[in-house]
């Protein structure tokens, strides 16, 4: 599966959910499907999208949070998994798109290309629900099950190492930052309480 196919399959589930992505390819792909005020693309700060998602999930326990992480990014902050597991907010779904590559900076292979198992690492860190999926159908089912479970989940989706032709979008970093802050502090009905 491609990451874009996976994102397309679950895009309709992102209504009312605070979404945090890493920079680069996944941010551009999600925006290509349609930007929403509840989407935040964490630029530059590689490795800490899950930490930002954790903070939002803890601060707003009635709001569902989904993080779209990458294998290279997660590998830079493996200790973050132990912090997720320690606080284990039930309203956080941590999706890792594992293309075995640092795609956004040229496609250098990561440790998952030589066998490192991120779902296994997350489970060993204490994340209560983990899974690895290979197909769009399995990904869609796994996302639905994770959201229904109300249990912290790290879901690794193995995807092809392909991405968009450009990572530049019309949305400026600061505009996204203020828009997302307004979204979080608005009276929007959080999905987790519906
Ligand atoms: C601390 C830090 N180091 C390096 C970079 C440069 N950088 C930006 S994206 C990226 C690769 C991200 O890889 P991955 O998380 O696997 O996502 P992919 O690009 O494959 O979608 C790198 C190395 C950065 N932004 N921050």
Sheet holding 92-98, edge to edge: 39-41, 18-21, 65-70, 92-98, 153-158, 129-133
What pLDDT, in 10s, does the model give residues 46-59?
A: 999 999 999 999 99
pTM of the model: 0.96
Q: Residue 36: its pLDDT value, please? A: 97
Spell out the domain ranges in the chain. Answer: 3-186
Q: 42 pairs with which residues across the strands?
A: none
How many A from CA of 28 to the centre of ligand 1? 14
Ligand 1, atom 18: closest residue by C-alpha: 103
> Beta strands of the chain (E only): which ranges?
18-21, 39-41, 65-70, 92-98, 101-102, 108-109, 129-133, 153-158
Helix 49-59, helix 79-87: angle, nearest 10 = 10
Q: 92 pairs with which residues across the strands?
A: 65
Please choose from 47, 48, 69, 70 the residue to mutate so as to test ligand 1's pocket, defined by most ligand atoms within 8 A of CB.
70
DSSP 3-state assignment of 121? helix
Ligand 1, atom 1: closest residue by C-alpha: 46
66 HSE (CA, 13 A, CB side): 25
Please choose from 6, 103, 106, 156 the residue to mutate so as to test ligand 1's pocket, defined by most ligand atoms within 8 A of CB.
103
Is any ligand 1 atom within 6 A of the Cβ of residue 53? no
112 HSE (CA, 13 A, CB side): 28
CATH of domain 3-186: 3.40.50.970
Q: Average of pLDDT values for 94-106?
A: 97
What pLDDT, in 10s, does the model give residues 135-189?
A: 999 999 999 999 999 999 999 999 999 999 988 889 999 999 999 999 999 866 5
What pLDDT, in 10s, does the model give residues 7-43?
A: 999 999 999 999 999 999 999 999 999 999 999 999 9
């Amino acid at each position: 599966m491609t990451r874009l196919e996976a994102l397309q399959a679950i895009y309709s589930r992102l209504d009312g959910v605070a979404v945090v992505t890493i920079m680069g390819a996944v941010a551009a792909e999600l925006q290509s499907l349609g930007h929403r005020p509840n989407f935040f693309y964490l630029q530059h700060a590689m490795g800490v999208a899950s930490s930002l998602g954790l903070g939002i999930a803890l601060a707003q326990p009635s709001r569902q949070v989904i993080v779209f992480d990458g294998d290279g990014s997660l590998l830079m902050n493996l200790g973050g998994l132990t912090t997720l597991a320690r606080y284990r907010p039930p309203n956080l779904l941590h999706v890792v798109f594992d293309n075995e590559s640092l795609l956004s900076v040229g496609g250098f292979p990561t440790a998952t290309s030589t066998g490192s198992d991120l779902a296994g690492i997350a489970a060993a860190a204490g994340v209560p629900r983990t899974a690895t999926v290979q197909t769009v159908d399995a990904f869609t089912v796994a996302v639905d099950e994770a959201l229904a479970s109300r249990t912290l989940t790290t879901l690794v989706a193995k995807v092809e190492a392909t991405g968009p032709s450009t990572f530049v979008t019309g949305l400026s970093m600061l505009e996204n930052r203020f828009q997302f802050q307004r979204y979080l502090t608005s009276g929007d009905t959080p999905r987790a309480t519906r």
